[in-house]
Structure 1
Amino acid sequence: MTPNTDTNAKSPMDAIHPALASALAAKGYSALTPVQMAMTNEDHGDSDLLVSAQTGSGKTVAFGIAIAPTLLGSGECFAAAAAPLALVIAPTRELAIQVQRELDWLYAAAKVQIATCVGGMDMRNERRALERGAHIVVGTPGRLRDHIMRRALDLSAIRAVVLDEADEMLDLGFRDDLEFILGAAPQERRTLLFSATVRRGIAELARTVQTNAVRIETTGSTEQHADIEYQMMLVRRDEREHAIINTLLDSDSASALVFCHTREAVRHLTARLANRGFAVVSLSGEMAQSERSNALQSMRDGRSRVCVATDVAARGIDLPNLDLVVHADVPSNPETLLHRSGRTGRAGRKGVCVLIVPQNRRGAAQRVLTLAKLTATVRAAPGIADIEARNRRRIIDAAASAAEPDGAEAEFVAELLNRVEPERIAVAFLRQQLAAHPVPEELLPLPAEAFEDKKSTRARRGADKRAPVREPRGPDMQNGVWFTISLGRKQRADPKFLLPMICNAGGVTKRDVGVIRIEDTETRFEIAEDKAAGYAEQISQPGSLEKGIRIAPAGEVRGKSRQAKPKFRQDGKPSQKHKAPSAERSKTSKHKGSRKPKRNA
């Protein structure tokens, strides 16, 4: 077959309206994304379009390209602004403002006038902008409906309507508002509906507001976003926030976005990160628009590195250099997961998406990933050693990559080296660099079985159902001495609270404690050989433990713990956290038994 050598073949860029083509060239667009490419198809003409495209694929530029012929025709620029010619509806304030910014530069050569109508802004200023005239109006459903009802927004000249993130607008309950707004627009118009997925509700909306729409799908049906790496980070239930802190510290990302389910969770996590020294801002629906704008600007100009947000508040925001998305709460459905994750890996940039998953939520997280047709690497949270090693590499790289001193600096550098030894200068630099990063959190390691798949776990449990639970603090010690504490699984024992208790009782540090094995009614643990004698003496002193809890060398307690157990239930007063429900029932049944002889008497 002879290859096509026609040098006059028309490129997709040639199909774009000249006014927009010049703006794209000035922005450095040398190639179009799949959804943008689809909008250059001249066969679509003035048809309605039902478009599904993945988040971060350049949809705003895409529909800007699509409606340009409808708005401008063969003209190079717009006539004087009067009643709007195009209406773009977005689910959130942030997305609407983002759309307005994109269309501003895309249509700049056409001398466009754009008005925004979004909740949280001064309605009087919006009304004055509409009275002055606008070629394109961008807004949120509720505010647009208000302006229509107050006769401030005239849709009689509308030629094209764009519904951006239509699936999100339905999820937020805006269907009635959308139908009201579109009912006020002329029947002879183009309607472009963009959605990440075309599920049943979107299909029904399309049949209601569109006529013979052309279906365009640019999302891969089975292939996940190649520019996003997904990780499922398994953690203990009480160490979720510690894992988030360490994940942020272990990342090279210039900026990160952390998603929470609720506003209260956003407030709590933002305060926690700020207290730890992170440059952090938050986004939630309760914030005023000015606060939200300031938070986003802080992320864009680099004053803040971390943004904690709810799903709705962060919908549609586009932050440059966003390389890391952290799901502090497991997403409840695949759409939420995809939209959250789509904040990174945009416009060809690589990104990492981390799901912080408590052990007991692993199944739910895996189901959401499966429904979203995503594959994630299962891993543990980064520990202190990992983060410290990364910090050392960063510090060495920063020093090695520093440029030679220029003329203004050279004299001072010479004076500094003359007065201060190089080792002391290096120490000062090292301390300054270390102080610039928050201290990582210590995380207890998860047992190896936590990272097994379900089939492997069931097979292993079937092989030894009676094996004691082993919660390792570290490797078995050489000649370590075993002790036991009178708290086990029945008392809801957990290494998280056992380890500080063990250390405080015997005056040792965490490094002196080896393996911790939790059994039904007691827990066995190792103490380093050189510390064991002092530990045994310390725990024999009164007041070293809460009343009713005993620690003793393992050889003693095996027999004595059974004798001491009734005393622990009846007379001891450990904290509620250490009590077993069965102990309370035993106490009640014993009292009932003691009353029976009186009734018989």
Structure 2
Amino acid sequence: MTFETLPALLSEALATRGYAAPTPVQAAVIDAEAEGRDLVVSAQTGSGKTVAFGLAMAGDLLTEDGTARPSRTPLALVIAPTRELALQVSRELEWLYQATGARVATCVGGMNPSAERRALSYGPQIVVGTPGRLRDHLERGALDLQALAAVVLDEADEMLDMGFREDLEELLDATPEGRRTLLFSATMPKPIVALARRYQQDALRISTVEEDRGHGDISYQAMAIAPADIENVVVNLLRFHEAETAILFCATRDNVRHLHASLTERGFAVVALSGEHSQNERNHALQALRDRRARVCVATDVAARGIDLPGLSLVIHVEIPRDAEALQHRSGRTGRAGKKGTAILLVPYPRRRRVESMLRGARIPAEWVAPPSAEEIRKADSERLLTRLLAPVEVAEEDRELAARLLSERTPEEIAAALVHVHRSALPEPEDLLPDTGAAGPRAPRAGFEGSAWFRMNMGRRQNADPRWVLPLLCRRGHVTRSDIGAIRITANETFFEVQSGVAARFLATVGRTAEEGGEDDVEIAPSESPPQEAPRHIRHDRDNASGSRDRAPHGARHEGPRHEGARPFRGERAERGPAPSDAPRPGKRERDDARGPADRSTLHAAKPFAKKGPAPFRKGAPGKGPYKGPRKGGPGGKGFGKG
């Protein structure tokens, strides 16, 4: 199918923008069966919906010769859930109808309402806006809908989820009876069906969701990584792909600020988008991406709908989306209009099963891969540099003169080496990642622990054993360093740990001697004939991840777990507390742009800024619960435990 059935001016505009043939949703709305009827359209983001309803309105906006019908009041109204989406729709309709003479007015929150009222007074044929601002203009008398021929609800499901039902009903009730209602929604929940039944007559149902499901032009990848490595992996992904434009999604404004500052410090051209930015700031950020002054955008889900950036080929989910729908809307920023794109999910080890379930439910085939290493990035840099330098170019005469001068003073080898150096120095340095970041199952032995010796200690989860106080205890008792201790695996009543083979004999002898000299009486350490069987994930503690534990040490134990050397936790710092005004948010509370669900709080923190309160519940008579009657029988709170 082609655009031949459309008015000539619209066909020419589409050809100028590179449209050769309509997408499935565009073909459906311009079909003869849909002409003049109310429509209920289900189509995924990136399928060409904006142009589709722009074409569907043509019969209501244009005369027989293809020019705009003169009118003092709007003929078409388009309602969108967010400012970004409304502005994007307005830009699309402007180029589509520019040759016809139709004017487009935009009314969104955050912009100058007086300027919008002036634009409405000039008699635009099309008005695009958000529900709240349109309702405000309607109540003030600036927006007259009596001559309206068509109304479009774009992302209707999102508008209902955001609480705009009353605004939509007031706007639709103010429209004339004979107008067409075009309802576009990615999903069709019961509230959408009820809305369609109330405001539509004999609506034609169009669905292209199955054809577009999962976004066939998007390649999905998932990476299982250590929580402390998230920021470094983001840097390496940006360096490895060198995308023309990339967008990074976080769950909170706070994490957007942190990642934006970190990437700026590393030398990336980056902008930020979140609910705390004004409309002017958002417009400037998006324009910087379109002008190529910036190549990376860090955003919350507020940017997941309606943003169409040319050249956007990479989407990174820095924090796991709350559900499959959010995943698809985020990822749908790339792979648009037939172009290919890549969407990458960064998955902390404990969250892998949840992400796998989400991908299965959305029927998205994601490939689990390891993040790019610094060596892979440098190799890719070299290939890109060779391709760029060996490409044919037109050389100006002054450039030839400068080249001749360089050759007279330096050898060709020196000039080539200097050129490579200049190129590499302009690129941010890749990061060295923690070992085994791409491991899908149990970790391989750490370097130096291939022939390690295993030991066991007579304390486990029931005695509140935790790697953060077990490790210092082992170092004190065995006179070894933390690097000599390998994996620590905690079971119900015992803790197993490995010691490097070179120091195992000395460790065992020293443990026996320190016990005789009056060490911790309740702690017994003995060799284990073989490593323990793999424990379930929720009770395994690898030596490298000990700093991520949330449990506290038991009463009397020194609380000093190991930390990653050289790895900075992403947003793991404790916020500074101070007196807060009564109307201020509670210290430490995470800001969110979307209040529909709790944030995934595990993805950006190697260690929580505020730990949960206390270990397992105390017995009756424990400290703080009445008269203290001593530590629990068999626990580690006996004489001398925890003393250095």
- AA aligned opposite 1:362: R
Separation in 2, partners of 1:286, 1:144 = 22
Q: 2:4 matched to which residue of 1?
A: 14
Q: 2:574 matched to which residue of 1?
A: none
Q: 1:303 matched to which residue of 2?
A: 293
Q: 1:94 matched to which residue of 2?
A: 84
**CA offset at residue 271 of structure 1?**
1.3
1:555 pairs with one of 489, 505, 516: 505
- AA aligned opposite 1:577: G
1:220 pairs with one of 210, 218, 239: 210
| 1:241 and 2:216 aligned | no
1:408-466 deviations in Å (ceiling 9; x for gaps): 21111011011022232223222222222222222223388x425xxxxxxxxxxxxxx
Separation in 1, partners of 2:5, 2:638 = 91
Separation in 2, partners of 1:514, 1:562 = 18
**CA offset at residue 151 of structure 1?**
0.9
| 1:112 and 2:62 aligned | no
| 1:400 and 2:390 aligned | yes
What does 1:86-485 align with in structure 2 at a 5 Å threshold? 86-220=76-210, 224-401=214-391, 403=393, 405-446=395-436, 450-452=439-441, 472-474=445-447
What does 1:476-495 align with in structure 2 at a 5 Å threshold? 490-492=465-467
Separation in 2, partners of 1:112, 1:196 = 28
1:178-229 deviations in Å (ceiling 9; x for gaps): 1111111112110001111222232222222222210001122695322111
**CA offset at residue 65 of structure 1?**
0.7
Separation in 2, partners of 1:581, 1:563 = 32
Separation in 2, partners of 1:591, 1:43 = 78
Which structure is higher in RCO with an 8 Å CA cutoff and minimum separation 6? 2
Separation in 1, partners of 2:399, 2:35 = 63
> What SS does the corresponding residue of 1:577 show, helix, strand or coil?
coil
1:35–1:594 distance in 2 versus 1, CA, 3 Å: closer
> What SS does the corresponding residue of 1:336 show, helix, strand or coil?
helix
**CA offset at residue 18 of structure 1?**
2.6
Q: 1:500 matched to which residue of 2?
A: none
Separation in 2, partners of 1:237, 1:210 = 50
- AA aligned opposite 2:255: A
Separation in 1, partners of 2:235, 2:55 = 42
**CA offset at residue 319 of structure 1?**
0.3
Contact kept, 8 Å, 2:260 with 2:270, in 1: the verdict is: yes
Separation in 2, partners of 1:592, 1:314 = 52
| 1:77 and 2:67 aligned | yes
Contact kept, 8 Å, 2:520 with 2:639, in 1: the verdict is: no
2:561 pairs with one of 577, 586, 597: 577
1:338–1:75 distance in 2 versus 1, CA, 3 Å: same
**CA offset at residue 138 of structure 1?**
0.3
Q: Which stretch shows the higher mean deviation, 402-411 or 564-573?
A: 564-573
1:220-254 deviations in Å (ceiling 9; x for gaps): 26953221111111111222222222111111311
Contact kept, 8 Å, 1:161 with 1:192, in 2: the verdict is: yes
Q: 2:540 matched to which residue of 1?
A: none
1:298-319 deviations in Å (ceiling 9; x for gaps): 1111111110111123421000
**CA offset at residue 54 of structure 1?**
1.5
1:28–1:578 distance in 2 versus 1, CA, 3 Å: closer
**CA offset at residue 581 of structure 1?**
7.1
Contact kept, 8 Å, 2:2 with 2:21, in 1: the verdict is: no
> What SS does the corresponding residue of 2:369 show, helix, strand or coil?
strand
Separation in 1, partners of 2:393, 2:96 = 39
Separation in 1, partners of 2:557, 2:385 = 51
Q: Normalising by structure 1, what TM-score? A: 0.80
CA RMSD of aligned residues (A): 3.6
Separation in 2, partners of 1:188, 1:82 = 18
1:237–1:64 distance in 2 versus 1, CA, 3 Å: same
Separation in 1, partners of 2:520, 2:382 = 50
Separation in 2, partners of 1:25, 1:447 = 47
Between the two proteins, the alignment pairs up a number of residues equal to 528
Gaps in structure 2 of 5+ consecutive residues: 473-479, 490-494, 523-554, 564-613, 623-628
Q: 1:510 matched to which residue of 2?
A: none
**CA offset at residue 110 of structure 1?**
1.1
> What SS does the corresponding residue of 1:186 show, helix, strand or coil?
coil
1:53–1:222 distance in 2 versus 1, CA, 3 Å: closer
Separation in 1, partners of 2:92, 2:437 = 49
Contact kept, 8 Å, 1:56 with 1:346, in 2: the verdict is: yes
1:526–1:31 distance in 2 versus 1, CA, 3 Å: farther
Separation in 2, partners of 1:154, 1:285 = 31
**CA offset at residue 559 of structure 1?**
3.7
Gaps in structure 1 of 5+ consecutive residues: 1-10, 453-468, 498-504, 508-512, 528-552, 596-601
Separation in 2, partners of 1:222, 1:515 = 52
**CA offset at residue 484 of structure 1?**
10
1:303-361 deviations in Å (ceiling 9; x for gaps): 11110111123421000110001111111111111111110000111000001111111
> What SS does the corresponding residue of 2:3 show, helix, strand or coil?
helix
> What SS does the corresponding residue of 1:312 show, helix, strand or coil?
helix
1:26-75 deviations in Å (ceiling 9; x for gaps): 32322111111112211222110000112111111111111101222424
1:404–1:161 distance in 2 versus 1, CA, 3 Å: closer
**CA offset at residue 362 of structure 1?**
1.0
Contact kept, 8 Å, 1:15 with 1:42, in 2: the verdict is: no
> What SS does the corresponding residue of 2:561 show, helix, strand or coil?
helix
- AA aligned opposite 1:138: V
- AA aligned opposite 1:209: Y
Separation in 1, partners of 2:151, 2:521 = 72
1:593–1:59 distance in 2 versus 1, CA, 3 Å: closer
**CA offset at residue 386 of structure 1?**
1.6
1:120-147 deviations in Å (ceiling 9; x for gaps): 0000100111112111000001100111
- AA aligned opposite 1:492: P
- AA aligned opposite 1:576: E
Separation in 1, partners of 2:108, 2:341 = 30
**CA offset at residue 526 of structure 1?**
7.2
**CA offset at residue 104 of structure 1?**
0.8
Q: 1:524 matched to which residue of 2?
A: 499
Q: 2:583 matched to which residue of 1?
A: none
Contact kept, 8 Å, 1:270 with 1:282, in 2: the verdict is: yes
1:40–1:474 distance in 2 versus 1, CA, 3 Å: farther
Identity %: 45
Contact kept, 8 Å, 1:318 with 1:343, in 2: the verdict is: yes
1:420–1:188 distance in 2 versus 1, CA, 3 Å: same
Separation in 2, partners of 1:266, 1:130 = 36
1:568–1:123 distance in 2 versus 1, CA, 3 Å: farther
